[in-house]
Structure 1
Amino acid sequence: MILKKPNCFLKIQALVIILYHVFAAAATGITAFSLTNVTDHQALLAFKGQITSDPSNALSSWNDSIHFCAWTGVTCGKKHQRVTALRLPSLRLVGPLSPHVWNLTFLRVLDLEGNHLNGVLSQEIGRLSRLKGLHLTNNSFQGELPRNLSNCADLLALYLDGNNLTGRIPDELGSLLKLTQVELSSNGFTGEIPSALGNLSALTYLSLGINHIQGSIPQQLGYLSNLTDLQLGANNLTGHIPTSLYNISSIVTFSVIENNLIGSLPSDVFLALPELQLLTVGSNGFSGLVPSSITNASRAVAIDFGVNALIGPIPADLGGLENLEWLSFEVNNLGTEEGDDFSFLTSLTNCTKLQVVSSSENRLKGTLPDSLANFSSNLTTLFLSSNFISGPTPSGIGNLVNLQRLALEENMLTGNIPSSIGKLSKLQIVELSENNLSGGIPSSLGNMTSLSDLHLGNNWLEGTIPASLRNCTQLNSLRLNDNLLVGVVPLELFGLSSISTLTLAGNHLTGPIPSLVGKLANLETLNVSENNMSGEIPPAMGDCLVLEYLYLGANQFSGTIPPSMSNLRGLKLLNLSRNNFSGQFPRFLADLPSIEAIDLSFNKFEGEVPNKGIFRNHSAVSVVGNNDICGGPPSLQLPICKGGATKRKTSSQRTVMVITVVVSIFFLLVGIIAIVLYRSKRLESRTAFTSPIEDHHPKLSYVELSRATNGFSPTNMIGEGSFGAVYKGVLPSNGQIVAVKVLKLKEHGASKSFMAECEALGNIRHRNLVKIITSCSGIDFQREDFKALIFEFMPNGSLEKWLHPVPNEMGGSDNNMRLSVIQRLGIAIDVATAVDYLHHQCHSGIIHSDLKPSNVLLDSDFSAHVSDFGLAKFLAVKASGTQSSSIGIRGTVGYVAPEYGVGGEVSTRGDIYSFGILLLELFTGKRPTEPMFSGEFGLRGFVERSLPDGLDQVLDPLLCLGRVQGDLKRSLLSVLKVGLMCSAAQPNERMDIGEAAAELEKAWDVLQVRRRRIRV
């Protein structure tokens, strides 16, 4: 028989056990309440255990020396000592998010935004039933948004923007009736906008922009009566805007920019939405009239109707828009048959905050009103190009003292260019091409010392080119083509070392090209064709090492082609036609690696034409009208060279023939021996060569790559460097678009560069590093060694292309190639994140050694990917104690750390210096090698001495920011400060790359908030 203990005894025993634990806990400094929160303690430790990098040591306090409620970022409730908030924003934490976080069942706020956390948000998130705020912005979370998030019934704020989430936005979000803020932008969401979101009656902020959402906007969103911000831009939305949305009178921000929406905008939209401050409906398919109620938009700060199909007049009475800063009607069909379409400009003179006005590419007719002189002194940008403006340019334009960009090209302007324009000392871009302007070029233009682009081509301008332009020391592009200009080209122009494009074609200019042309170190395009210029090409032309386009046709030039022009290795187009050039045919042209087209027609060249290089492409070469040339490929249909290009005496011919036979036999024997040795060596090298990536990816053959790139056609070439050329290709097997980097095996160091890139890319994986697909190692059709790397194709090319657009064949560039502040800052963060990964997070630390804009590639979303690891250096230490490296130390002038120039050891701080210079270039638009920088005064000094008061003068004018104030100014100053700290002269003074990324992300957060109010 078993005796049972009385109940009272059991209760006493339990009490004793509890008291024992209480006193034991007290003895160790832990409160009695810890018995109820062991789960929270374990969950936090599990979270820390998954973090692979904590550069700021934020979690160093997470140990047993203090209670976990006192740990950094942890907040506990006073009653039960359970974790109620976990806040660790912008600390650069790296690693997956531990699923144990979902065991913090008392959690009300989870704020981990601005880190590098990854993984999938599991369905267990639904266990956080008390959660009110979920802030995971700017991380790398993947997968779909958990549907059982609907269990978090108290959720007020959901911030998941800037991740890699995919799939549909779940309907279940519509059950979270307390939600006030939903931010899901900058992800990869697909499907349609759930109509169930219309149930969120408390919602004030909804942002779904920059995704892949399609379908129509559900009319149920019109039920969101408390909504103030609606951002649906940069998706694939179709159909009409539901009329129900115009019933939400509380809306402040309404953005549907860059979709495929159609229909007309209601005329009373600004009456229905009286609080509206930002309306961006640009880049859609809207038609009909500009809403007449725009005259009532007294609260509006930014209005963008650009790139649609709007018709009719621009409302004339806009003077009541007292807060307006940005107004765009560009690229529509606006205008009337009657004309007088520019009366709206007069009304805008009352808008004292106005900074940007753009009505380019419409059908507006009439003259520019004299009232233009009364515009706001804040005006920085006036775009009225590609319309039907007639009459003179108002002389009062000189009153717009802060104007930075003026575009009036492709109109019908007449009369003189007013000399008062010279008062605009801050003017950087002047576009007056393709008008009917006459008279002389005002010498007052020399007062515009900030001028970078002066385009006056296709007018009726006469007289000489003013020498006063020598004062425009920042001039980058000068186009005076197709006018009636006379006289010699002023020597002063050739003293402007900043010039990259000089187009003077189609005038009546005389005189020679001065030898000073060799001082134009940045000259990329020189076009003086169709003038009356004479003389010889100066040998100094060969010093223009970056020259790509040279047009000298239809002049009276004479003499021979100087051999120094063989130095122009980047030359793409050469036109010397219709001149009096003579002498031996310039055979070196066949060896220029970048040449795409040559026109030497109608000159007096003699001798043999090469049968190689560009001359094998008969469609790219013209040599007609030279009567004494011969040879070349059959496609040129030239006579065969008989007995050489010069006359020889018969006796000399016999002697030469005998010597030639003897020498030929000798060299034939030597050649046979050399071929045997070469083939055996090549077989050995082929056996010895193995790419670190070849074991992980299917290799492609030379034949497949040749087909993919159309025979490595020059038209497929998208870039070229010291050791390789890059081609765009389409793989025949699956249609995938790729970038093929072909190794230049004959270049010294190319094989080592190839191996360095293979080794680096075979061991790293990161979203901001270029992704390698496979490699190729074999022989080509000429039985020569061939090696190539195949990468994921980046449709937006390099950052270099966007910061410094390359002139087209006519010497122009694409003015639409502009990066916004947000895009530039995002690119900077991407690069910093990638470098941080290379230095601290991959298996073996890697020094990139060649960070610069041309090595930063942009995908379709303008996310940045660091490329070109040909100079990479590994931090892994060998047995000898030296760092392993696959190639000698090199870099690019302007970006190389100063300590390298005096034999300093390669380190991660060299990459940080390069990043700092890149960051400054990103926001100033200035290369570190620009002629304005010399000696100890460089890009860094230019920025440092100008801050903080001269911020407006430092920023890239293509940003079109005008006068920068408030949060935007503070953010941009902090960004430039990061660039200065990273590029400090002393390595130990440079900011850590992880800290740099964190500071940039803080600026990003501020600018994103500003972006919700006005497009930056």
Structure 2
Amino acid sequence: MPSKECILFCFHLIFLLFLHCSSFTSHALDSETDRLSLLSFKDKITDDPLNVMSSWNDSVRFCEWQGVTCSSRRARVATLALPFQKLGGSLSPAIANLTFLRVIDLRGNVFRGPIPAEIGHLFRLRSLLLMENSFGGEIPANLSQCTQLEVINLNYNSLIGKIPTELSRLPNLVALHISANHLTGGIPPVLGNISSLVNLSIAQNYLDGPIPDDLGRLVNLQFLQVGANNLSGTIPLSVFNLSSMSIFAVAFNHLVGNLPSGIGSNFPNLKQLLVGVNGFSGNIPSSLSNISSLQFIDLPDNQFVGRVPSEFGRIANLQRLNVGRNLLGRGDSDALDFINSLTNCSKFEMLGIDSNHFSGPLPDKIANLSINMNRLLLGGNQLSGRIPAGITKFINLIALNVSWNSFDGPILPDIGKLFNLGQLYMNGNRFSGRIPSTIGNLTKLFELRLDGNTLETSVPSSLGNCQQLQLLNLSDNNLSGPVPVQIFTLSSLTVTFNLARNSLSGTLPVDVGNFVNLKELDLSDNELFGSIPDSLGRCLSLEHVYLQRNSLNGSIPSSLSSLKGLQNLDLSRNNLTGSIPQFLQDFRFLGYLNLSFNHFEGEAPKNGVFANRSAVSLDGNRDLCGGTVELELPACSVHTDSVGRNESRLKLVIAVVSGVIGSALLLCVAVYCILGRSRAKSLLTFPSSDWNSNFSYRELEKATSGFSSDNLVGTGSFASVYKGLLSEDRRPIAVKVLRIQEKGISKIYMAECEALSNIRHRNLVKVLGCCSDVDSAGRDFKAIVLSFMPNGSLEQWLHPEEKNTNIVNDLNIFQRLSIAIDVASALEYLHCYCRVPIAHCDLKPGNVLLDDDLCAHLSDFGLAKFLRKRVDVCGQAQSSSVGIRGSVGYVAPEYGMGRPASVSGDVYSYGILLLEMFTGKRPTDELFRDGLSLHEYAKTALSLNHVTDIVDPTLLLLKTDGGGEATDSNRIIIEQEKVKPCLASIIRIGVACSQGLPQERMNIKEANSNVQLIRDTFF
């Protein structure tokens, strides 16, 4: 018989076993709840291009699924982290059942819809990271129930409404980041109750009103970012008393007032002061020099006056001082003394004082600035005297700009020691003497501007060593002697070679043919003699040739007939002879031709540029005759036997012409009657004889295998495009078949035919012909036949997942820049160099086609408008048409108000296209609503120096050409600090082109030039 103690022990053991089993069962149920919640999360994901969720299956425990981390003791989900996986869909409310969740990290995906309010039940949650998605709706107010929350980051979404005041109840919140959304209203004063707050980022929204005084109670605040809003008024003094402040960023608002004189004592830990593009005025506080940690002083585009404090030299860590575009230095003879003090800043890298009122000579002590200096920007002041010799010790300089001042004296011979220089701008000054031969040591130089000075003697042959030089401008000086043949070996020259308005002599050497990629050649207003060399015809990229005001002789060589892209040609005021070549009238791009004051003879051509009196000048050639009536040349002589015979012939001609006209009228009446009774099959004849052929419906039906769906390569609002093969030579073609039933399609068809028959450019789609016929069922059929572009449209490359194509989004920065240049070149031709300026009116990625080499060709001229006149180089020429159609997101805002078509409307579309190419976001993205646009999105990122946060992430990878080092995937990672300036520059151009007001937009010539400069600078 067991003892009483034994029985009690057994009962106790059974009880413990029961408790253990109950606990085990409970844990098992909890784990199953987590597993089912994760599966619910997975079910809401509709896009998974990287196949991330494939690991979420029953073959492994859910704690081993990608992105899932469980606690070691309870096997409950503690972290859900799937950043930058391109996941799309909505966020399942079932995530609230993961009750042990501490971290949600879904940044950098494409989640849409609202942020589930149920997240408020996750009382253990500490980090909520949902930035860089497309979440919409309001910020859930009940996030305030997650009392353990330390970090909320919702940056770069599409959230609307006001900032919830309930967030002020989070006692442990350290970081609140809700920038780059569509939030409205003011900054809630109750945010000042979050005493734990260290980082507050609410920039790039639509917040208005003042900065609340209550923020001055955030005694732990180190990071305040409220830039790019509509904030106004003055900054409360209480905010300037936050002694923990490290980053103070309020740029791009409407803030006014002065910076407090004691700011240096109030912000003893400040590293970056970013207050640019506001209305601040008064003096720059000298107390900033008390902040030993200060790295950036960024004050551009305000109304600061007076002096730059000399005390800044006490800031040991200062790296950048940017005070450009203010009112500094006016009337102060020693306004540049602050430069002397900066010599104490051993980490100093960049000085920008451009576009102020600084005058007088540069202090010699500028040469004592840090050896780390990489940018010195002094342009646009009234500086004078000589450049201190010691400036040549800055061997790390990559950009030196002293343009548009009044510097004089010789260019320093030791300039050649700056072997890292890529850009040297010394134009618009009074430099004299020789161009030092040591400039030839600057082998990294890609742009050299010495124009607009009084430099003399010869051009140094050592410039031929600058094998990366892409732009060379030595114009408007007093240079003499022959141009060294070594310079004509610079095949790197692509932008311009400009030696105009000097006293250069000699002949043009045969070596000029080495400029095979050059766009502009300007040797005008010199003393060159001899003939134009045949080798110039090898420079196939030439668009602008200016050789006027020299002593050139001989005839225009026939080899120039190969310069099909020529847009401007000026050979005036030379001694050229012979007849005017007929091939000049075949140059489709030629918009300006000046052959005046030479000795040309014979009959002038009548077609092409010669048919436009405003685009051609033949004055001063006494032996020319004929041509169009507008040229006002004498009639060419006709040899006859007698006046009487001439009169007889004239009567005969009149009789014949009258008969022909009468017959033609009768024929027209007959045809009209016939067409009134039945439809006749006809082929449209294009007005330009340059179109190679016309096509019948049967030809195109055969070429496209009966317009098979297998050959369908694209559809649009008014047409479908098929790939085809011509039977005679198996040449691939694209057949654009118009939807004849659509209203107004005939006008669109005729507009496109008219536009395409009058233009030709290497970056415009090549048109082979057209067809106006009836199909096999007797219905009207209209089509345009184009060269086939094997790489499809730019839209397919930018958004491949939306088009169900096999194209991989793999356009690197260089390729995108090249495409941007191609499109700009096409627009520049349409706007500036056509005989009649043309506005495209429907520029978008879908209308940019790519050939085998990814060269871009602008297409679809169905909405194009001929403009009445050309006001200036690329001015506001307008048509009389209103009601411009186009594509949503790309149409200039003034068109919505009934304004007629203009070239500035195309520039707006180009700006949006640029921003889409480099951000990867359409202008119609869900992110852009409630007032936010792609333009504002990019503009705000620029203001906050956050460009790398908005660009397409693939742009941070650059594919090699096979010759350089690369990883196994043939890619190399480009350091962000190297890529960022390039991206910022191109985004800045996109923003400048897409301004709301037409008069504020950059013109297409400037945009094209700037994009080319960016490509040439960084690549």
How far apart are residue 409 of structure 1 and its match?
A: 0.9
In structure 2, the residue corresponding to 1:393 is in which secondary structure? coil
Letter in 1 for 2:683: Y
Counterpart residue number, 1:872: none
Offset of residue 274 of structure 1: 0.9
Letter in 1 for 2:220: N
In 1, the alpha carbon distance for the partners of 2:225 and 2:111 equals: 26
1:562 is aligned, of 557, 560, 563, to 557
Mind listing any 5+ residue stretches in structure 1 that lack a counterpart? 1-14, 726-742, 782-787, 797-813, 838-856, 865-913, 922-937, 962-1016
In the TM superposition, residue 435 of structure 1 has moved relative to its aligned partner by 1.0
Equivalent pairs, count: 795
Structure 2 letter corresponding to 1:749: F
Normalising by structure 2, we get a TM-score of 0.67
Cα 1:679/1:90, change in 2 over 3 Å: closer
Aligned pairs (5 A) from 1:179-218:
179-218=173-212
Rounded to whole Å, the distance in 2 between the matches of 1:128 and 1:119 is 20
Aligned to 1:898: none
Q: Pick from 941, 963, 971: which aligns with 1:941? A: 963
Assess if the C-alpha contact under 8 Å between 1:702 and 1:779 holds in 2.
Answer: no
Which residue number corresponds to residue 489 of structure 1?
483
Cα offset, 1:566, TM superposition: 3.6
* Residue pairs, 1:798-837, within 5 angstroms: 830=919
1:116 aligns with 2:110: yes
Q: What is the rounded CA distance, in whole Å, between the counterparts of 2:416 and 2:954 in structure 1?
A: 36
Secondary structure in structure 2 of the residue aligned to 1:137: coil
Pairing of 1:250-261 with structure 2 (within 5 A): 250-261=244-255
Report what 1:594 is aligned to.
Answer: 589
Q: Is 2:257 the partner of 1:263?
A: yes
Deviation at 1:208, TM superposition (A): 2.3
The superposition leaves residues 814-857 of structure 1 with CA deviations (integer Å, 9 ceiling, x where unpaired) of 9xx99xxxx99x989855x99xx9xxxxxxxxxxxxxxxxxxx9
Specify which of 610, 619, 622 is matched with residue 624 of structure 1: 619
Aligned match of 2:532:
537
Question: Which residue of 2 is the match for residue 523 of structure 1?
Answer: 518
Aligned CA distance change for structure 1 residues 614 and 43 (closer, same or farther; 3 Å): farther
Residue 787 of structure 2 corresponds to: 748
Q: Could you tell which deviates more after superposition, 500-509 or 100-109?
A: 100-109
Cα pair distance change 1:756/1:261, threshold 3 Å: closer
Of stretches 77-86 and 311-320 in structure 1, the one that deviates more from structure 2 is: 77-86
CA separation of 1:693 and 1:369: change in aligned 2, threshold 3 A: same
1:57-206 pair list within 5 angstroms:
58-76=52-70, 81-206=75-200
In 2, the alpha carbon distance for the partners of 1:341 and 1:759 equals 50
Q: Give the Cα separation in 2 of the matches to 1:713 and 1:753.
A: 20
Quote the offset at 1:703 in angstroms.
9.1
CA distance in 2, matches of 1:534, 1:234: 59
- Counterpart AA for 1:624: D
**Is the Cα contact below 8 Å between 1:510 and 1:532 reproduced in 2?**
yes
Contact 2:213 2:239 in 1 (8 A): yes
CA contact (8 A) 1:702 1:780 kept: no
Contact persistence 1:458–1:481 (CA under 8 A): yes
Structure 2 match to 1:424: 418
2:399–2:424: 8 Å Cα contact kept in structure 1? Answer: yes
Determine the C-alpha separation between the residues in 1 that align with 2:917 and 2:60. Answer: 38
Give CA deviations for 1:278-328 in whole Å, capped at 9, x if unaligned: 111122232221112132232111111112221111112322111111111
Q: Distance in 2 between matches of 1:744 and 1:481?
A: 50
How far, CA to CA, are the matches of 2:351 and 2:373 in structure 1?
A: 8
Aligned equivalent of 2:803, options 764, 773, 779: 764
Query: What are the Cα deviations for residues 773-812 of structure 1, in whole angstroms up to 9, with x where unaligned?
Result: 998869999xxxxxx995456699xxxxxxxxxxxxxxxx
2:574 corresponds to 1:579? yes
1-structure distance, mates of 2:366, 2:550: 42
Relative to structure 1, is the Cα distance of residues 223 and 702 closer, same or farther in structure 2, using a 3 angstrom cutoff? Answer: farther
Residue correspondence of structure 1 range 605-644 to structure 2 within 5 A: 605-615=600-610, 617-630=612-625, 636-639=630-633, 642=635
- State the AA in 2 paired with 1:407: N
3-state DSSP of counterpart to 2:314: coil
Contact 1:536 1:559 in 2 (8 A): yes
Q: Please tell me whether the aligned partners of residues 723 and 753 of structure 1 are also in contact (alpha carbons under 8 angstroms).
A: no
CA contact (8 A) 2:262 2:287 kept: yes
Match of 2:344 in 1: 350
Paired residue for 1:245, among 239, 243, 246?
239
Q: 2:57 aligns to what SS in structure 1?
A: coil
Matching residue of 1:373: 367
8 Å contact 2:324–2:355 — kept in the other structure?
yes
Mapped pair 1:510 → 2:505: yes
Q: What is the letter of the counterpart of residue 941 of structure 1?
A: G
Letter paired with 1:377: I
| 1:326-405 alignment runs, 5 A limit | 326-405=320-399
Deviation of the 1:204 alpha carbon: 0.7
Q: C-alpha separation between the residues in 2 aligned to 1:495 and 1:473?
A: 9
Shift of 1:646: 7.2
Cα distance between partner residues in 2 of 1:587 and 1:416:
48
For the 8 Å contact 1:701–1:776, the answer to whether it is kept is no
Aligned to 1:801: none
Determine the C-alpha separation between the residues in 2 that align with 1:771 and 1:182.
37
Q: Match for 2:787: what amino acid?
A: H
> Does the C-alpha gap of structure 1 residues 264 and 227 become closer, same or farther in structure 2, counting only changes over 3 Å?
same
- In structure 1, what residue type is equivalent to 2:242? I
Structure 1 length-normalised TM: 0.68
- Name the amino acid aligned to 1:131: L
Structure 2, unmatched stretches of 5+, are 1-13, 672-679, 686-693, 720-738, 769-781, 810-842, 848-858, 867-883, 893-906, 926-932, 941-951, 985-1019
Contact 2:749 2:862 in 1 (8 A): no
Contact 1:561 1:586 in 2 (8 A): yes
Distance (whole Å) between structure 1 residues aligned to residue 105 and residue 420 of structure 2: 44
SS at match of 2:464: helix
Secondary structure, aligned partner of 1:581: strand
Residues 428, 451 of structure 1: 8 Å contact kept: yes
Q: 2:553 is matched by which residue type in structure 1?
A: S
Task: Give per-residue Cα distances to partners, 1:746-769, cap 9 Å, x unaligned.
Answer: 653379979998999996399999
Cα distance change on mapping 1:859 and 1:452 into 2, 3 Å: same
**Distance (Å, rounded) in 1 between the aligned partners of 2:110 and 2:587:** 46
SS at match of 1:274: coil
| Residue identity opposite 1:342 in structure 2 | L
Q: Give 1:91's aligned amino acid.
A: Q
Secondary structure of the equivalent of 1:558? Answer: strand
Equivalent of residue 604 in structure 1, options 599, 606, 609: 599
Distance (Å, rounded) in 1 between the aligned partners of 2:258 and 2:177: 28
Q: Distance in 2 between matches of 1:225 and 1:719?
A: 62
Give distance in 2, aligned partners of 1:759 and 1:277: 38
In the TM superposition, what is the alpha-carbon distance from 1:492 to its structure 2 partner?
Answer: 0.8
Given that 2:489 and 2:511 are in contact with CA atoms closer than 8 Å, whether structure 1 keeps it comes out as yes
Task: Name the structure 2 match of 1:874.
Answer: none
Q: For 1:489 and 1:460, how far apart are their aligned partners in 2?
A: 17
1:443 paired with 2:466, answer no
**Matched residues in 1 for 2:863 and 2:244: separation?**
66
User: Is the 2:748–2:862 Cα contact (8 Å) retained in structure 1?
Assistant: no
Change (3 A) 1:951 1:143: closer
CA distance, structure 1, for counterparts of residue 302 and residue 185 of structure 2: 25
- Tell me by how many angstroms 1:616 deviates: 5.1
Q: 1:470-524: per-residue Cα shift (whole Å, max 9, x none)? A: 1111111111111110011111111111112111111101122222222112212
Q: Which range moved further: 221-230 or 176-185?
A: 176-185
Return closer, same or farther for 1:48/1:534 CA change in 2, 3 Å cut-off: same
Other-structure match for 1:973 = none
CA RMSD of aligned residues (A): 5.4
User: Residues 744 and 397 (structure 1 numbering): CA distance in 2 closer, same or farther, change over 3 Å?
Assistant: farther
Cα separation, partners in 2 of 1:267 and 1:420, compared to 1, 3 Å: same
Q: In 2 relative to 1, CA 724–200 (structure 1 residues): closer, same or farther, beyond 3 Å?
A: farther
Paired with 1:708 and 1:182, the residues of 2 have a C-alpha distance of: 54
